[in-house]
Structure 1
């Protein structure tokens, strides 16, 4: 396990504190632990997955606390909620524009690196009066484990 104030893949502990406070949320040890789990994985966990991981460090944390922490991170802009297809929402510690691929069989979600649809996004400005400020792209298919 990392020390409590170790930097993680996402924002630093102080940046997390500032983001939460700016959004009207308190910074707590429980929220820091939830964020550490979320930002330390690229597996796009569900709230239950995060809960299971955080309980190893904080045995008395409740599932409700994990849900509230994840939603606070989403509203503060330090995480994204992925409501993909059917099944429970998944959470992503990456907040930059990036693409995902989801297995239609097991629900596994993975980042896709290197695919950047910026050209057609710029073309949207000519095709629509919308001011596009971001995007989400999800591809669907079957992971190697589910193909066998």
Structure 2
């Protein structure tokens, strides 16, 4: 009976360790590709892409490379900045760019007659914690110039 009690305690402790180890992790949503219209804002999750202009233009939200934005629950002297890595594909030619949330840096890029702009990055930072990479959403706007 004593060995069984230890077995149950061990199993309970192991279950708690597994639950604690998995509880704080958030996996990225599965990558998706959506069709979007030029001139209309759209939102991408990390790893997802959009096809625009009858498939001639592709935009992939690769990652958030840095996020030093002022937390929403803090008063800051400077709003800070976040940088988003995107891959832009036009006619099977892919190029990498970094778009910023602060207008003090490049918030848009012009490539082969298209303008791709980072409109906003969500969620906003909080002083009490970090943002899981899979939680980021980039709102973008692509137009023909």
TM-score above 0.5? no
Larger strand proportion of the pair: 2
Larger helix proportion of the pair: 1
Larger relative contact order, structure 1 or 2 (CA cutoff 8 Å, min sep 6):
2
TM-score (norm 1): 0.23
